[in-house]
Amino acid sequence: MDASDAYAETERYRDDPRWRVAERVRDAALRRFPADILAVAVHGPLAHGDDDGGGDSEVGLLLVTYRPGGGPPPATRRVDGVLVDLTVAGADDYLGQARTIGPLWPLTADRYVTTRALHDPTGWLRSLRDEHLARLARARPAEFSTAARRAWYRGSAAHARALRLAEWYETDQALLMLGEARLAAATVQGLLSRTYFRNPGDAVRRTGLAGADMTEVGTVLARQAEELAARGRPVDGTVDDLLTT
């Protein structure tokens, strides 16, 4: 990025009410909890810097504290028309989350990899990114397959519930459960391909599940079950399997 591009980007941020609110929260937090806060950052659309700047997306704000329980409590509020989702986490706890490959990894990894610092005097956010990427480099294929199987169970249960509700003509509830099944199937696909997403909407859109109907989601789940079995993580098993794995 050359000097003119950097200047244009700075001006765009200055004109964006979300950035102004994020900076106000940072300033207030540092003023009220000066001994607790290690770093402040944004994640999500603002961190990527490629949304439309229209101000209609929420501000994902992270406060990292030196110790668990420090700083303000996590909260969500609308401030001057801007929705702020405030995450507060101890540094060690958050690093531990970044090192975890779980069933929700496709929906959480982005916040470890892509952040924009509002306050980071020690470079901790770079360490967060490096720790997460190093963990991915060490991860064995079986870890992703195991996490995918757990996500598959969630999707299968939601899909079965959606089918039953549709039979009972509980259309609204069936659609809600179908949405859960779509998202779970998308996370399975993300885990099997080691792909992470920016948010749930991005997950279902990029996996082609955004408009999938009941039959299509069932077909996807069946295909994923076959792939998990081929990877040594079958979704079906015996009572002994249930009690030992």
CB 104 within 8 A of CB 187: yes
Digit-by-digit pLDDT tens for the chain (245 residues) are 443 443 344 445 657 899 999 999 999 999 999 999 999 999 998 999 876 544 457 899 999 999 999 999 999 999 999 999 999 999 999 999 999 999 999 999 999 999 999 999 999 999 999 999 999 999 999 999 999 999 999 999 999 999 999 999 999 999 999 999 999 999 999 999 999 999 999 999 999 999 999 999 999 999 999 999 999 999 999 999 989 86
97 contacts: CB under 8 Å, gap ≥ 6:
89, 108, 112
Token pair of 100, please? 């975890």
The residue with tokens 């000097």 is 3
Q: For residue 47, which of 136, 134, 125, 130 has the smallest C-alpha distance?
A: 125
Q: For residue 87, which of 46, 33, 42, 130 has the smallest C-alpha distance?
A: 42
